[in-house]
């Protein structure tokens, strides 16, 4: 009877996992530096340097600037493992392969 209880208890412990890291809790030298804050700062700088020019197609600009480095860094982090990269990015491997080809990132 003790064996069944022990098995169930170890199975329950195995189910407990830490939540995925979302980057909002990132700290450098004790200070929070979430990606959101860095993006906001970069966009503020962008608007400050327009010198009176009107911004256009900002969404496309931001996506072009961010997406390629995102894929490069993630692929480097996982040492080229596409399955792990797709999981980290929250996309399927087919989409990952399409983006890698689009950006000319060696798989």
Question: 3-50, pLDDT tens digit by residue?
Answer: 545 455 555 555 566 666 655 555 666 666 788 899 999 999 999 999
What pTM was estimated for this model as a whole?
0.65
Residue 80: how many CB atoms within 10 A of its CB?
13
Give the integer Cα–Cα distance in Å for 99 and 103.
6
Element (H, E) at 106: none
DSSP string of 23-48, one letter each residue:
STT-EETTEE--HHHHHHHHHHHHHH
d(CA 43, CA 39): 6
| Cβ contacts of 74 within 8 Å, gap of 6 or more | 85, 88, 89
């Amino acid at each position: 009877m003790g064996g069944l209880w022990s098995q169930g208890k170890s199975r329950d412990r195995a189910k407990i996992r830490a939540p995925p890291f979302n980057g909002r809790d990132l700290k450098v030298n004790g200070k929070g530096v979430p990606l959101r804050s860095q993006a906001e700062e970069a966009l503020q700088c962008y608007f400050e340097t327009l010198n009176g020019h009107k911004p256009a197609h900002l969404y496309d600009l931001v996506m072009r600037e961010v997406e390629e480095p995102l894929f490069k860094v993630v692929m480097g982090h996982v040492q080229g493992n596409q399955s792990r990269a797709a999981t980290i990015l929250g996309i399927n491997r087919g989409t990952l392969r399409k983006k890698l080809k689009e950006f000319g990132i060696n798989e």
